[in-house]
Amino acid sequence: MNKQVVVGCGYVGTRVARHYRDQGEAVTGIVRSDAGVARLEQLGIKGLHCDLAAEDLGDLGLAGARIFHLAPPPGSGVQDPHTRHLVELFERFGHPLRVVYISTTGVYGDCAGAWIDETHPVAPVAARSQRRLDAEETLRRWSAASGRDLVILRVAGIYGPDRLPLERIRAGTPMVRPQDAPYTNRIHVDDLVTACIAAMERAPSGGLYNACDGHPSTMTDYFLDVAAAAGLPSPPLIGLEEASDRLSEGMLSYLSESRRLRNDRLREELGVDLRYPSLAEGLRGLF
Ligand SMILES: NC(=O)c1ccc[n+]([C@@H]2O[C@H](COP(=O)([O-])OP(=O)(O)OC[C@H]3O[C@@H](n4cnc5c(N)ncnc54)[C@H](OP(=O)(O)O)[C@@H]3O)[C@@H](O)[C@H]2O)c1
């Protein structure tokens, strides 16, 4: 029987783990907190407490397993030591059969609004995206050296139940005017879970897929659409100059990158049938 391990078993990972639990397959979720272990155990999922930031980790039983790696890198720097520590564990205690890694579309950097697919060169700008590329490269080196399978999903902005910017909208935080807003891409969490499982079950090793709904829109349209669907007032709209004073550093960093992602490979090669091919459909399902 297959043994699945979800490293970083949070919002997305728990849904992946529930799928394997429901199939009657062995699945363990690795989390950083005791509260995370308790949450998993309540769902009938075996939880394991481990902080990948630690240098000297013990045997987590990953040899021969099928691993979903969803644990984020640390909050600073341009490398991902967490993924490096994970690979050190593989080398010390035995390699997994396959790793499905959840990366981000941020690795493409700013594309000035162009439509791009997986053949587009990577050029991460933000440090958070450089850390993701470092993780991808660490895992590629591991896969080449060990001969074990690696599949990478480059994931767009995740939304779903309890994952919408409602607090921000309720607080009346402004957004930039539509003409100043960059293009962004999204995926509904249910479709991301489907993509993760497809990547594990049937992707060729070395597979690389954009995991997004294929209908990018501007960041401002996203906030306006969510507000309308939730019956909340639209956020006030401001110019870019004012935005640099009033918006958070994180939001300004997102606003400085614009790209429109194609998902043909996910749908046609991996055969993922998206339940929510656009935000409009996703929001209809949520409200
Ligand atoms: N939000 C987006 O739009 C977006 C887009 C692209 C990619 N991603 C990435 O997709 C992945 C999954 O997202 P998500 O929403 O499911 O994240 P999440 O809900 O924050 O879950 C992250 C999980 O990782 C665990 N974790 C965090 N740091 C860890 C560490 N140092 N060692 C071990 N476990 C650790 C957490 O443990 P606890 O449960 O104990 O806290 C949690 O279970 C994340 O890597 C995220 O950065 C997100």
Strands 183-184, 115-116: pairing kind: unpaired
CATH 3.30.1490.20 corresponds to the domain 3-162+186-212+260-274: no
Closest ligand 1 atom, residue 32 Cα: 40
Strands 183-184, 217-218: pairing kind: antiparallel
Closest ligand 1 atom, residue 39 Cα: 39
Q: pTM of the entire structure?
A: 0.97
User: Is the C-beta atom of 12 inside 6 A of ligand 1?
Assistant: yes
For the chain, give every domain's residue range.
3-162+186-212+260-274
Identify the pLDDT of residue 80. Answer: 98
pLDDT digits (tens, 9 = 90+) for 61-95: 999 999 999 999 999 999 999 999 999 999 999 99
Report CA(104)–ligand 1 centroid distance (Å).
Answer: 12
Question: What whole-number percentage of the chain has pLDDT above 70?
Answer: 100
pLDDT digits (tens, 9 = 90+) for 31-63: 999 999 999 999 999 999 999 999 889 999 999
Report CA(271)–ligand 1 centroid distance (Å).
Answer: 26
Nearest CA to ligand 1 atom 47: 72
User: Is the C-beta atom of 192 inside 6 A of ligand 1?
Assistant: no
Judged by DSSP in three states, 31 sits in: strand
- CA distances in angstroms from 106 to 5, 80, 212, 253, 263, listed in the order given: 26, 15, 12, 11, 15
**Residue 250, both tokens:** 């994180």
Identify the pLDDT of residue 201. Answer: 98
User: Is the C-beta atom of 40 inside 6 A of ligand 1?
Assistant: no
